């Protein structure tokens, strides 16, 4: 029996959540063991290269993946043309970065960065080899296969990094990890996917796809710069250790951010693209997505702010205590990052990549203002300014969705408000426990259990439609499975 749109969406979300949660569990467990061994300077050195790697990957992908997913009648020629184009672009970008590595090292006054950068950047051309396989599986909503590939490749690269950390390889542990991940993931995707490039290349295909993808590429470049620009300034202006603390705090907070918006965004985009011509249906599905996102985001991210102190001290030891304020601030900012990404996804599906580009330019302006206003303050004030900038950017996205997506801004605020208020109320009630309970393990357990139980209980008591729908889907699936077993 063919699945309904709701069932496709639910199962796409389930597999994406399993994918992201599985990855984050591995990254967390291996990450805390590695962080206990390596120094803050090791993380700072690799953190200095984050913006270059991220920007290079955006340039190579060029928005073609989204364009292919959105195009209902994409041909083999289209896929092969994009494959060859991206492969050539990735090799060119790698050589440019290879020769620029000494200048990057000079900018940060870190001579060892030259060789480190040249190896880290190898992940760029390797990742381009699996772009089309990932795109096709995503378009087919085959997230089950992607989840397995991502889990196995991350597990393999994480075990390698764990071995290298204990063997005393220091910063090279962090250098080899992304490269090994790219290699294993690309190999597995070529094994599990039947797609192979044909011997055809069409400039016309590239031109047609780029008409939509170009705005997405420029938007992504600006967005990536926005997310990584603070690493550049902190690494340049403040002591090296501060960048290490900021990088580690960002890495830990990203567990929640990437799990939530990565799961929802990648699952809903191909599904929404399939109903893009049915505006009324698309708007209903989008509004429900905003509610579901808020239902998950606010308790997860505000909860992480709540337990930030015991969580970091237990997981990473007191050596990383200075990363706690960064972790908490970036978790708060992550709320607006998630909601902004979901709004951008809707504009993307609606074909308004031009609006996305304008929003990214506005984002760049707001970020620049925040940096200028906080540049000569403490590093924590600078990061707090980043959180304020993310709030302003989110509100601007709400305005644009109101204007171009027929989803009034007040409706969106109204849709997210119950989950925000419940989460803030629980934070206010449970935070004082840190003044009473001195044992960090006990404090963490009590805050997590009480927060989770109270959040579920309050949603049930208040009659949350999203909560009821999730419970209904779970029991419906169990009932169906039981019937199939009996038959």
CA distances to 43, 352, 411 from 424, in Å: 32, 34, 20
Give mean pLDDT, residues 340-358: 73
159 with 204, same domain: the answer is yes
Q: Which of 236, 256, 274 is the last residue of a domain?
A: 236
The 10s digit of each residue's pLDDT in 123-156 is 989 988 988 898 888 777 777 788 888 889 989 9
Identify which has the larger pLDDT, 391 or 474: 391
CA distance between the termini of the chain: 16
166 with 208, same domain: the answer is yes
Reported as type and span, the H/E element at residue 69 is helix 64-70
Structural domain boundaries enclosing 56: 38-236
Give mean pLDDT, residues 330-344: 87
Q: Domain for residue 150, yes or no?
A: yes
209 with 257, same domain: the answer is no
Task: Give me the percent of the chain exceeding a pLDDT of 70.
Answer: 80
Give mean pLDDT, residues 348-374: 78
Specify which of 136-145, 307-316, 404-413 reaches the highest per-range mean pLDDT.
307-316
Calpha distance 303→260 (Å, rounded):
14
Reported as type and span, the H/E element at residue 193 is none
Q: Domain for residue 28, yes or no?
A: no
pLDDT of residue 60: 64
203 with 142, same domain: the answer is yes
The 10s digit of each residue's pLDDT in 204-239 is 888 877 766 666 677 667 767 666 777 777 888 888
Confidence label for 445 from pLDDT (cuts 50, 70 and 90): very high
Confidence label for 284 from pLDDT (cuts 50, 70 and 90): confident
pTM exceeds 0.85: no
The 10s digit of each residue's pLDDT in 16-30 is 666 666 777 777 788
Beta-carbon-side half-sphere exposure of residue 454 (alpha carbons within 13 Å): 18
Q: Domain for residue 125, yes or no?
A: yes
118 with 198, same domain: the answer is yes
Calpha distance 339→304 (Å, rounded):
17
**DSSP assignment of 236-294, as one string?**
HHS-HHHHHHHHHHHHHHHHHHHHHHHHHHHHHHHHHHHTTT-HHHHHHHHHHHHHHHH
Torsions phi, psi for 81 (to 5 deg): -65, -45
Range from 247-256, 260-269, 276-285, 460-469 carrying the lowest mean pLDDT: 260-269
pLDDT of residue 473: 56
93 with 208, same domain: the answer is yes
156 with 180, same domain: the answer is yes
pLDDT of residue 3: 52
394 with 309, same domain: the answer is yes
pLDDT of residue 62: 61
* Structural domains in the chain (count): 2
280 with 403, same domain: the answer is yes
The 10s digit of each residue's pLDDT in 71-109 is 777 888 888 988 998 888 889 989 999 999 999 999 888
Both tokens of 317, joined, read: 């030891």
pLDDT of residue 302: 95
Cβ burial 165-196 (10 Å sphere, 16+ → b, else e): beeebbbbbbbbbbbbbbbbbbebbeeebebe
Reported as type and span, the H/E element at residue 94 is helix 76-108
Q: Residue 486 above 80 pLDDT?
A: no
Both tokens of 271, joined, read: 């599904």
Q: Domain for residue 21, yes or no?
A: no
Q: Domain for residue 71, yes or no?
A: yes
Confidence label for 13 from pLDDT (cuts 50, 70 and 90): low
pLDDT of residue 405: 64
Confidence label for 476 from pLDDT (cuts 50, 70 and 90): low
Q: Which of 236, 271, 296 is the last residue of a domain?
A: 236
Q: Domain for residue 437, yes or no?
A: yes
Torsions phi, psi for 2 (to 5 deg): -70, 140
199 with 314, same domain: the answer is no
Identify which has the larger pLDDT, 288 or 353: 288
CA distances to 165, 253, 328, 458, 466 from 365, in Å: 40, 25, 25, 40, 36
- By the 8 A CB rule, do 358 and 219 touch? no
Confidence label for 1 from pLDDT (cuts 50, 70 and 90): very low
Confidence label for 332 from pLDDT (cuts 50, 70 and 90): very high
pLDDT of residue 130: 87
Q: Domain for residue 271, yes or no?
A: yes
214 with 287, same domain: the answer is no
Q: Domain for residue 338, yes or no?
A: yes
pLDDT of residue 483: 44
383 with 265, same domain: the answer is yes
Give mean pLDDT, residues 60-79: 76
Q: Which of 212, 236, 260 is the last residue of a domain?
A: 236
């Amino acid at each position: 029996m063919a699945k309904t749109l709701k069932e496709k969406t639910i199962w796409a979300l389930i597999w994406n959540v399993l994918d992201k949660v599985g990855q984050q569990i591995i990254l967390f467990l291996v990450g805390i063991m590695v962080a206990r061994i390596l120094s803050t300077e090791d993380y700072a050195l690799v953190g200095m290269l984050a913006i270059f790697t991220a920007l290079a990957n955006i340039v190579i992908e060029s928005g073609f993946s989204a364009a292919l997913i959105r195009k209902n009648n994409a041909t083999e020629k289209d896929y092969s043309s994009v494959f060859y184009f991206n492969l050539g672009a990735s090799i060119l970008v790698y050589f440019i970065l290879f020769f620029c590595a000494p200048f990057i090292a000079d900018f940060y006054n870190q001579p060892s960065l030259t060789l480190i950068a040249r190896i880290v950047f190898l992940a760029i051309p390797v990742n381009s080899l699996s772009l089309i396989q990932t795109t096709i599986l995503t378009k087919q909503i085959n997230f089950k296969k992607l989840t397995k590939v991502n889990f196995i490749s991350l597990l393999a690269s994480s075990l390698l990094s764990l071995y290298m950390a204990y063997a005393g390889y220091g910063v090279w542990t962090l250098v080899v990890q992304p490269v090994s991940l790219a290699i294993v993931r690309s190999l597995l995707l070529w094994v599990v996917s039947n797609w192979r490039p044909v011997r055809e290349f069409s400039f016309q295909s590239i031109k047609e796809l780029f008409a939509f993808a170009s705005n997405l590429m420029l938007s992504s470049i600006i967005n990536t710069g926005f997310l990584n620009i603070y690493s550049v300034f902190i690494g340049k202006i403040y002591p090296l250790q501060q960048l290490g603390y900021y990088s580690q705090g960002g890495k830990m907070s990203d567990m929640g951010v990437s799990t939530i918006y990565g799961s929802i965004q990648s699952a809903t985009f191909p599904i929404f693209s399939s109903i893009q011509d049915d505006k009324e249906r698309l708007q209903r599905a989008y509004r429900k997505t905003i509610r579901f996102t808020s239902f998950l985001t606010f308790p997860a991210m505000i909860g992480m702010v709540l337990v930030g102190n015991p969580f970091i001290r237990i997981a990473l030891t007191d050596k990383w205590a200075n990363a706690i304020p960064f972790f908490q601030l970036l978790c708060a900012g992550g709320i607006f990052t998630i909601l902004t990404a979901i709004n951008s996804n809707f504009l993307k599906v609606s074909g308004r990549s031009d609006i996305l580009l304008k929003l990214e330019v506005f984002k760049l302006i707001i970020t620049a203002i925040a940096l200028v206003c906080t540049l000569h303050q403490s590093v924590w004030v600078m990061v707090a300014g980043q959180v304020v900038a993310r709030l302003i950017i989110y509100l601007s996205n709400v305005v644009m969705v109101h204007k171009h997506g027929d989803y009034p801004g007040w409706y969106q605020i109204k849709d997210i408000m119950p989950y925000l208020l419940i989460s803030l109320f629980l934070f206010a009630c449970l935070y004082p426990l840190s003044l009473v309970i001195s044992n960090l393990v006990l404090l963490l357990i009590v805050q997590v259990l009480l927060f989770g139980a109270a959040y579920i209980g309050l949603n049930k008591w208040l009659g949350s439609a999203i909560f009821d729908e999730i419970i209904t889907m779970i029991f419906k699936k169990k009932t169906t499975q039981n019937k199939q077993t009996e038959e």
